[in-house]
Amino acid sequence: MTDNWHLFEVFIRSKNGLAHKHAGSVHAQDADTAILSARDLYTRRGEASSLCIIKSADIIASDPAEAGELFDPADDKIYRHPTFYTVPDGVKNM
Amino acid sequence: MTTANNIAVQMPQIPEHPERSETAYILRLADNALILGQRLSEMCGHAPEMELDMALTNISLDLIGQAKLLFEHVLTLEDLAPNADALALTRYEAQYTNLLLVAQPNVNFAHIVLRQYLFSTMQKYQYEALLGSTDKNLAAIAEKSLKEIAYHIRFAKTWVLRLGDGTDESKDRMDDALSCLWRYTGEMFARDDILAQATDSGLTTDFTKSYKNWQVEVEGLLVQAGDLQPPEVGQMLMGGTQGRHDEQLGNILSDLQFMQLKYPGLQW
């Protein structure tokens, strides 16, 4: 596979009103061929009503190695969950 | 009758020609879809990339699906065979009425996408001409197929552009494909008695009147695709729709027909 093939991430929305969900990735040259490839690979069984494609290189993601410093500190901050409030009588839905 | 290697070669008795011109015309549409579908299916597992492998086999399945609907419809008009499989898979070569173009070999990816582009852009005109058909079932099949055809055009066009306007190597391959395949395009828009009768009876309108439009559309794209020029063709090659095929169809049929001839009536 030569340099002009890029990796793209494919997101599928199964029906209007839902959010796009990550389905997988495809190799393609550019936006046009990425949409075609994604359609051919991921929507063969009626999975999609719309497709969204992002160049994998353009996605900025956290480094898994940094997961500790980024996310662990939140583990013991239970007071951040709104579970310490008492719900007034008569309120049916919160 | 069996041959030495025990392959049954007895063909079911399918009439040499359909009696009705409507049936003969629909059979052409079915044969085009079947033969190109089979040709493309040869690429399963052999395309340059997995993504393209899926794309080509998807198109193949679309075409075979169109062929299935058309063969089944033919049988409601004229009792040519016991079922659609027998009609599709057990005729003699000269009874197939597909265009020469659709049987041309998968030389390389440039040939495959150019063949698809030339055929699908014609097929669009051909099926649009069926939308107002007096045969409502045929019109419905055309309407369903046109969505698939639009995608086939989009896919093939994308790749003709990229290869024609790509590297020296890809442009050479596209040039080669064009010089091989262009001579088969005249047949797609040739008018004969079967089409004339199908037009008179209201089965279809005469899509061959769109030949000029097709040429403008296709040649326009070829110019965009690295200024590809169709070759000068003294004589367009024809004969497929009349059952006169070149050596390519026989190759396809030897694969396509094998199981039905070896095990007549076989079902999956």
Task: Count the domains in chain B.
Answer: 1
pLDDT at B143 over 50: yes
What pLDDT is attached to residue A94?
A: 66
Length of chain B: 268
CB contact under 8 A, B158 and A40: no
DSSP string, B109-154: HHHHHHHHHHHHHHHHHHHHTTTT-S-HHHHHHHHHHHHHHHHHHH
Question: Domain for residue B5, yes or no?
Answer: no
Question: Domain for residue B3, yes or no?
Answer: no
**Domain around B245:** 21-262
Contacts of A41 in chain B (CB under 8 A): 50-51, 54
CA torsion, ordered A41, A47, A53, A56, to nearest 10 deg: -60
CA distance B56 to chain A (A): 9
pLDDT in tens, B61-113: 999 999 999 999 999 999 999 999 999 999 999 999 999 999 999 999 999 99
Averaged pLDDT, B221-232: 96
Question: Domain for residue B267, yes or no?
Answer: no
Question: Domain for residue B1, yes or no?
Answer: no
What pLDDT is attached to residue A2?
A: 60
Closest partner CB to B54 (pick from A1, A33, A40): A40
pLDDT at B1 over 50: no
Chain B positions contacting chain A at CB under 8 Å are 49-52, 54-55, 58, 151, 154-155, 158, 162
CB contact under 8 A, A37 and B158: no
pLDDT in tens, A14-69: 988 899 999 999 999 899 999 999 999 999 898 899 999 999 999 999 999 999 99
Question: Domain for residue B6, yes or no?
Answer: no
Averaged pLDDT, B173-202: 97
CB contact under 8 A, A41 and B154: no
Question: Domain for residue B268, yes or no?
Answer: no
Confidence of residue B265 (pLDDT cuts 50, 70, 90): confident
**How many residue pairs bridge chain A and chain B with CB atoms within 8 Å of each other?**
29
CA distance A36 to chain B (A): 7
Q: Is A7 strand, coil or helix?
A: strand
**Cα–Cα distance, B33 to B31 (Å, whole number):** 5
Q: Is the pTM of this model over 0.95?
A: no
Q: Is A9 strand, coil or helix?
A: strand
Closest partner CB to B58 (pick from A26, A27, A44): A44
What pLDDT is attached to residue B2?
A: 45
Mutate to test the interface with B, among A36, A43, A44, A53 (most CBs of B within 10 A): A36
Contacts of A34 in chain B (CB under 8 A): none
Residue where the block lists tokens 């085009």: B32
Question: Domain for residue B14, yes or no?
Answer: no
What pLDDT is attached to residue B149?
A: 97
CATH code: domain of residue B242: 1.20.1260.10
Using alpha carbons, select from B139, B267, B248, B126 the residue that is nearest to residue B184: B248
Question: Domain for residue B7, yes or no?
Answer: no
What pLDDT is attached to residue B5?
A: 54
